[in-house]
Structure formats: C-alpha cells, structure tokens
Structure 1
Amino acid sequence: MYEKWINQLIKIELFKDIEREELKSILGCLKPTIKTYKKKDIITIEKDKLTGIGIVLDGEVVVGKETLAGDRVMMSKLRSGELFGEIAAFASNEWLATVVANTDCTILFFPPQKIVGICNKMCVGHRSLIQNMLQIVSRKALILNKKVDILSLKSIRKKISTYLIEQYNIENNLTFNISLKRNELAEYLLVSRPSLSRELINMQKEGIIDFHRNHFKIIDLQILKSCL
C-alpha cells in the first residue's frame, strides 16, 4: 500500500535521517491511511475532531480560517511533501483550520496519537520521527507568528512590503515567483483584490517593484523596507 510512495516520503522533512527499511517499519507501525480528493473537496473542517496529521502526497491544498467577522483568511498553500494538522495534534483534539483541495490530490493521514504519544517499540526511527516533528511544529509556529504580524498591519502597502521582503529573504534574490495567485494573495493579506491590485500598480509606477502575474522583481529594496 505504501510502497508506491516510499521514494517520495523518504525525501520529506518529517522522515529526515530515517533509512528506507526503517521508514517501512514505521509505516507498518503507524498504519497511516491514504485518501484521494477532487478539486474543491473539503478535507478538514475547523473545530471538527482531529482525524490525523496529513501529508500531501500529490496535488495541492489550501489551509484557511474564518475570522470573527466571517472573513476567510488563507493561512498557507501546501504542495507535495508538506504537512497539515501537526500543530493541532500537539495542542488539541480538533482541527485548527479548514483544508480544501486546490487540485485533485492524494493525502496520507497518520494517527496523531501514534506520533506524539509513546510507541511500544520506540525504535530509533520513531525517535527521529518525533524530533523531526518537533522541528516542523517550531518552524510552523514562527511562520504563524509572521502571519499574525502581517494581519495586524493597517496599511495595504505595509502588508505587501512585508510579504515581498519575506519572499526576498527566503529566495535571497530580488527576483522571484510567488506561489499565490492574485486573489489568493489578497485573501492571504486580508485585503480586497481591487485594493491589492491598485496598490501594486502604484508601487510599480513609483519604481519600487515590477511584476507580471506571479513574477516579482524588487527594484528598490531600501524604499521597500522604508514602507514597513
């Protein structure tokens, strides 16, 4: 059942430093399930009972939450090899966000109690799995903290500048592609799409940035930083 995905699974962060045979043993111990979804299918619903930690094997999913005002906020877009539900597994027994299939996709679900709990065998591979999971959760917590920082900003230009500088720091390049479409970026920054487009065009006219669809170039980094 899992053999088809072994070559892919062994490359992801969760299974770092785990040998192929050890990984097979872990999969046999944890007995994850594999499910397929069509585009726009709802995979998880916020506040429903947590059913497992998900790994995207194929396709793409979008993780989002609703604010008290009823606005939908995109938290992240996940592709093959990325996880969701890992923070909820440590924090509660319910989903902390709604996950929707952005394309046809295949998801592998691990029983959370078998990862964050105690395994009777407690093999070396399982210990590495827990250590890797803790690193992933810590990194996700930092990402969520940055997301809160962006949402707390009042100015659309500040939100755009913060996001673009973050992408620049990730890519270490003034030219980069972003993974979000324009409507998705608007949702991520919690602004209207027309307002986002208008401000991007203004920044382009002022010679701060240049862009075409998802391709961006920072022309004047110092001015962009001064927008923060």
Structure 2
Amino acid sequence: MNIPMSQLRKNALFQQMTEEEIRELVDLSSCTLEVYEKDTLVVQENDPCSTLGVVLEGKLHIQQYDRSGDALTINVFRHGDCFGAPLLFTPHPLYPFTLLTLTPSTVLFIPFEQLTRMLRENPTFNHNYLAFLSRHILVLKNKIKILSHNDVRSRLMIYLSREMDLAESPRFTLRHKKTEIAEIIKVARPSVSRELTNMERDGLLELRGQQVEILLPEEFIL
C-alpha cells in the first residue's frame, strides 16, 4: 500500500509530526485502504468497530435515525478527519451512528491493536489523540445545544458561533454548504438561506459567498 505521508499529516491525530515519524509509527501493511463511490454506506449503526477510520479524500456524514425514521446529521467528515477513535477503550465497541459518503471518498482503516501501540510509543500522537477526543465532546455538546432551540436563528447562531471559535476570528470561511448546514442544525435548506439574509439585514453579519464576518459576536452567545 502506497500512501503519501503528506496526506496523513493533514489529519488531526498526526499534527506536529514529520513524515518520517509517521512512516515509522504507522504499519501500513496491517491497515486497509477502502475507496467508496458517492452515496455509499460505510458503516451501519451498531456495527462492530475495531479500527480507526482516517479520511484521506472526499466527504462523509454521520447520521442517526429516530423512531420515525428521520435522519439527523451529526457531523460531516472531510480530508483530515477521522472516526472510531472514541470507541478504542470501550468494552464493546459498536458504531453509534450510520456513516455514508457525500462524495467519492477514500478511507484508511488502522486496527485498534496498532492504534494502542501508536499511543504507547509516540507522545505527540498520544497528545493529539486526547485533544481530538476533547474536540469530539465539544462537537456533541454543540449539537445538543443546537437542538435545544426551536427557532432557526438560534440554531444558526450557535452553529456560526462554533465556526467562529474554530477559526479564532469573526471572519472565516464556511466549511459547509448550506445544504450541509441545514442537515447539521436540522432545518429546511431554504430556511438557512432566508435566515442568513435576515441576519445580514439586521446587521449581525456580512456574507460574501462562503466568506462570513460576524459583526456582533456578543449576540452569538446563547
């Protein structure tokens, strides 16, 4: 298997590591590389999880379904993201979500046995892993906070506040398309466009394509 180490360096778990360090740490011979077409089921909720999935190309979204069959998009994964990490030390690791591709995608699967060794042998990787878990908790907390509000503006403001925090600036580029934002905050896509226009009219933000400037950051603390 031939994978450019530069691709893995873009993943949060390999930050601050050289390509040589990654090459020495990751045993690609025990990993699996999977290539998926668009709209492909990657994992099903309650499937056993024994690997860390590292997204090398494409976009995938994780979903959960309620009793009525409605899908809730929890997050969108891109190149540089990974999934399965929080399940490493659980006694019975089962995927708590369904994962599907939004575009043609490539995923590297690293067995948990190897992941445990990597955590033990490399302090930088270990630190990155713990930092990733912390961010994962914040993402879930943010999702719960969004769903606790019924109105579109509040949900959208919480989403934008999170994006502003990630960018560490009131000026940032939207990482998600409006369709994806609608799925994340669980509203209709036209409602996202309409409310962004209303928020711009009310002087809360300026929007130029995917570029956003939050004009009144204090109003986004909900």
Following superposition, the deviation at residue 73 of structure 1 comes to 1.8
Aligned residue type for 1:182: K
Matching residue of 2:121: 124
Write out per-residue CA displacement over residues 178-219 of structure 1, whole angstroms, 9 at most, x where no aligned residue. 122112111100122233333223222222223244332323
**Number of residue equivalences:** 221
Aligned residue type for 1:225: F
Structure 2 segments unaligned to the other structure (5+ residues): none
Task: Write the mapping of 1:125-140 to structure 2, written as runs, cut at 5 A.
Answer: 125=122, 128-140=124-136
Task: Write the mapping of 1:1-228 to structure 2, written as runs, cut at 5 A.
Answer: 1-2=1-2, 4-16=3-15, 18=17, 20-28=19-27, 31-91=30-90, 92-116=92-116, 119=117, 124-125=121-122, 128-222=124-218, 224-225=219-220, 228=222
Equivalent residue of 1:90, what SS?
Answer: coil
Q: Is the 8 A contact 1:63 1:99 kept in 2?
A: yes
Equivalent residue of 1:217, what SS?
Answer: strand
Following superposition, the deviation at residue 221 of structure 1 comes to 3.2
| 199-208 or 101-110: bigger deviation | 199-208
Aligned residue type for 1:173: S
CA RMSD of aligned residues (A): 2.7
Write out per-residue CA displacement over residues 41-65 of structure 1, whole angstroms, 9 at most, x where no aligned residue. 1111111121421001122222222
d(CA) in 1 for partners of 2:130, 2:216: 38
Q: Is the 8 A contact 2:57 2:79 kept in 1?
A: yes
Aligned residue type for 2:74: M
Following superposition, the deviation at residue 21 of structure 1 comes to 4.5
Q: Is the 8 A contact 2:11 2:79 kept in 1?
A: no
d(CA) in 2 for partners of 1:171, 1:209: 15
Following superposition, the deviation at residue 128 of structure 1 comes to 4.6
TM-score (norm 1): 0.82
The verdict on how the C-alpha distance between 1:22 and 1:197 changes in structure 2, with shifts beyond 3 A counting, is closer
Identity %: 28
The verdict on how the C-alpha distance between 1:27 and 1:173 changes in structure 2, with shifts beyond 3 A counting, is closer
| 84-93 or 155-164: bigger deviation | 84-93
| 195-204 or 33-42: bigger deviation | 195-204
Following superposition, the deviation at residue 34 of structure 1 comes to 0.7
Equivalent residue of 1:63, what SS?
Answer: strand
d(CA) in 2 for partners of 1:175, 1:122: 36
d(CA) in 2 for partners of 1:175, 1:25: 39
Q: Is the 8 A contact 1:55 1:82 kept in 2?
A: yes
The verdict on how the C-alpha distance between 1:11 and 1:174 changes in structure 2, with shifts beyond 3 A counting, is closer
d(CA) in 1 for partners of 2:32, 2:9: 17
